[in-house]
Amino acid sequence: MENSVAEEPKTYSVLVVEDDPHTAELLTYNLSEAGFQVFNAEDGLSALHKLDIVVVDLIICDVMMPEMDGFALRDRINQDLVMREIPFIFLTAKSTAEDQILGLGMGVDEYVTKPFDPEVLLARVHAVLRRHEIYARVARLDPLTKLLNRQTLQREIERELARIKRYPAVATLVFLDIDEFKQVNDKYGHAAGDHALGHLASALTKDIRTVDIVGRYGGEEFILYFPETPEDIGRRIIERMHSTFQQLSESDGAGPLTFSAGLVEAPRDGEDFTTLCNRADAAMYRAKKQGKAQVLVWRPEMAPQSEAG
């Protein structure tokens, strides 16, 4: 089961980048009627500004625009690891073969020429989104636990951290690691180790909200991120997950297994992914040293793990 984010029925948001007011209005009308949340930008620069403050599922972009045209905008987007994954459709009167080859060569999904039929455009939008869902789903997940993989985890948390810089809020980040995992593998075999990881994945996703982020950082290490959640509530959630994990793993013969966890609150304990992870990791390391099977909140006197040895 995936971190339940993808299971929710979803309203897609689209950014329409178009300098011609009539076309922009027509697109906005048709997309809104089809249930999309529509954002507008009248050229490449204002599109970049918009993408800095909203998360969109799709971009429909004109080519001929003042300031920064569509090709220049696509160039900029290609340099950004997060933005270049957003589905992208050129919608333009530039209809020569050269234009279309140039546009499609920039890694976009569709190149639609004007004049266009709104119904056909909508069908293309849905086709593009369907393709992305399938590819993106596979690329985002850790194959064993079906939680987010390391790259996606980091990308989604960074996006959230950028958001709380603009709209201040607290969040909790947790770094956790299964205790004595090596012994499980050595004593009971790697299949038992895989089962343990599966039980942990179930425990970590049992009662989470759709906004929560859960992923496998590597090996037996996991990271969780709870938006709008102060330290004390985050701690209670993790403790509940810990007892669920003990119960689930107990049924397997190798258990009951435990984990140690370190917890930080953003932005109090850090504003970027690396700082928060290092500090949560340091708190997790301290939890291990103090006898494992516990959750510790990071405190400034806890040395980073590298210094603690």
> Of 32-40, 43-51, 65-73, 155-163, which part binds Mg ion (CB under 5 A)?
65-73
The residue among 65 and 204 lying less far from Mg ion, judged by its C-beta, is 65
Q: Quick check: 62 binds Mg ion (CB under 5 A)?
A: yes
Q: How far is the CB of 69 from Mg ion (least distance, A)?
A: 8
Can you name the residues that pair with 262 across neighbouring β-strands?
A: 175, 296
Least distance between Mg ion and beta carbon 65 (Å): 5
19 lines the binding site for Mg ion (CB under 5 A): yes
Q: Does 42 bind Mg ion (CB under 5 A)?
A: no
- Phi, psi of 215, rounded to the nearest 5 degrees: -150, 165
Residue in the shown chain whose Cβ atom is closest to Mg ion: 64
Measured from the CB of residue 16, what is the shortest distance to Mg ion in angstroms? Answer: 12
CB atoms within 10 A of CB 146: 15
Cβ neighbour number for residue 187 with a 10 Å cutoff: 11
Tell me if residue 242 falls in helix, strand or coil. helix
Binding string, 236-265, against Mg ion, x = CB under 5 A? Answer: ------------------------------
Helix or strand or coil: residue 57?
coil
Interactions with Mg ion, residue window 109-138 (CB under 5 A): none
The least CB distance from residue 117 to Mg ion, in Å, is: 18
| Segment near Mg ion (CB under 5 A); pick from 14-22, 132-140, 144-152, 171-179 | 14-22
Q: What mask of x and - would describe binding to Mg ion in positions 140 to 179, judged by CB under 5 A? A: ----------------------------------------
Nearer CB in complex with Mg ion: 73/173: 73
Judged by CB under 5 A, the number of residues near Mg ion is 4
Give the SS3 label for residue 259.
strand
- Taking residue 86's Cβ as centre, other Cβ atoms within 10 Å add up to 18
User: Which parts of the chain fold into alpha helices (H)?
Assistant: 21-33, 44-53, 70-78, 97-104, 118-140, 150-166, 181-188, 190-205, 231-250, 273-289, 305-308
Using CB under 5 A as the binding rule, whether residue 67 contacts Mg ion is answered as no
* Pairing of β 221-227 and β 171-178: antiparallel
Contact segment (CB under 5 A) with Mg ion among 54-62, 191-199, 202-210, 299-307 equals 54-62
> Are 257 and 185 in contact, with CB atoms under 8 Å apart?
no
- Of 64 and 308, nearer to Mg ion (C-beta) is 64
- Residue in 18, 42, 220, 265 annotated catalytic: 220
Contact 244, 206 (CB under 8 A): yes
Q: What is the dihedral of CA 283, 245, 172, 80, to 10 degrees?
A: 100
- The two tokens of residue 155 are 């990308």
Please report, as a single letter, which amino acid is at residue 41.
Answer: A
Active site residue 220: yes
How many Å separate Cα 206 from the centre of its chain?
Answer: 19
| Smallest gap from residue 50 Cβ to Mg ion (A) | 17
Active centre residues (catalytic): 220
The contact set with Mg ion (CB under 5 A) reads 19, 62, 64-65
